Amino acid sequence: QQQVKQSPQSLIVQKGGISIINCAYENTAFDYFPWYQQFPGKGPALLIAIRPDVSEKKEGRFTISFNKSAKQFSLHIMDSQPGDSATYFCARGSSGSARQLTFGSGTQLTVLP
């Protein structure tokens, strides 16, 4: 079964610090690698997505980096804030006819004030 392996399971960071979440995948037959953020009681919400032909994409304090040769991609949250405390999921998807995402297991991020 195709999987996305996400680490760490939980992460505690001080306010202002950098949060780093890593994901690894098994093959390159996928077109999109999005990251989702989920707050308690809410559905996941898209943060940022990257294609494998791009090595890095930045949106505000959030940056995705992609290492195709290592089959890894990661999310960096710069200047982490308590409001960033949430569960983060990486995912992979294909631009084929069906829109299906396979998600990582999630990382619970806590940013201490």
Partner 1 sequence: KAGVTQTPRYLIKTRGQQVTLSCSPISGHRSVSWYQQTPGQGLQFLFEYFSETQRNKGNFPGRFSGRQFSNSRSEMNVSTLELGDSALYLCASSPGQTWGGELFFGEGSRLTVL
Q: How many residues bind partner 1 (CB under 8 A)?
A: 26
Q: Under 8 Å CB-to-CB from 29, ≥6 apart: which residues?
A: 94
In degrees and rounded to multiples of 5, residue 96 shows phi and psi of -65, -170
Examine residue 32 and tell whether it contacts partner 1 (CB under 8 A). yes
Number of H helices, E strands in the chain: 0, 11
Examine residue 29 and tell whether it contacts partner 1 (CB under 8 A). no
Percentages (nearest 5) of helix, strand, coil residues in the chain:
5, 55, 40
Least distance to partner 1 from the beta carbon of 10, Å? 13
CB nearer to partner 1: pick between 69 and 97: 97
CB nearer to partner 1: pick between 13 and 50: 50
Instruction: Give the whole-angstrom CA distance, residue 65 versus residue 70.
Output: 12
CB nearer to partner 1: pick between 12 and 46: 46
Interacting residues toward partner 1 by CB under 8 A: 1, 31-34, 41-46, 49, 89, 91, 93, 95, 97-106
